[in-house]
């Protein structure tokens, strides 16, 4: 396989990573029950652990914040649509509340993963996964 330049290669690898994460989300159906959500967190942590060096490199080389922004947007859209809108009645406070909640959840999880990947949070994958699960159970 040939690439136009290093940015084309970067884009190709990045798309493969997002596709893999998206497939995990689609397979897990995380908001039908709590176990599925916990399995999704474990699976995402396993996937990121498996590709730790690539994710870390992409975060460090991030061009204009694209990697994390794209990841946040993908999961924000998923969380807002599948979790908040489809799995429960619209919040009585309106969809603004739902949008803020989805953004809060996604930004928090992505922030934790970023910190963990860049060694700001030195702990085993399993610990991060368990703590994220405990926090997300509150929502």
- Helix, strand and coil content of the chain, in percent to the nearest 5, comes to 75, 0, 25
Q: pLDDT tens digit string along 14-55? A: 889 888 988 888 787 666 666 777 888 888 889 999 998 888
Specify whether the backbone of 12 is left (phi greater than 0), alpha (psi in -120 to 50) or beta.
alpha
pTM comes to 0.77
Domains of the chain, residue spans: 6-136
Q: pLDDT tens digit string along 106-130? A: 899 989 998 998 887 889 999 999 9
């Amino acid at each position: 396989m040939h690439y136009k330049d290093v940015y084309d290669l970067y884009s190709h690898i990045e798309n493969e990573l997002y596709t893999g994460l998206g497939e995990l989300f689609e397979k897990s159906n995380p908001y039908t029950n709590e176990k599925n959500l916990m399995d999704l967190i474990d699976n995402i942590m396993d996937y990121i652990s498996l590709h730790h060096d690539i994710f870390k490199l992409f975060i460090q080389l991030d061009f204009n914040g694209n990697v994390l922004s794209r990841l946040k947007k993908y999961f924000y859209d998923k969380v807002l649509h599948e979790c908040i809108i489809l799995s429960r009645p619209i919040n009585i406070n309106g969809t603004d509340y739902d949008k803020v909640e989805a953004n809060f959840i996604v930004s928090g999880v992505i922030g934790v993963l970023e910190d963990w990947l860049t060694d700001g949070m030195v702990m085993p994958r399993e610990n991060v996964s368990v703590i994220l699960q405990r926090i997300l159970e509150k929502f």
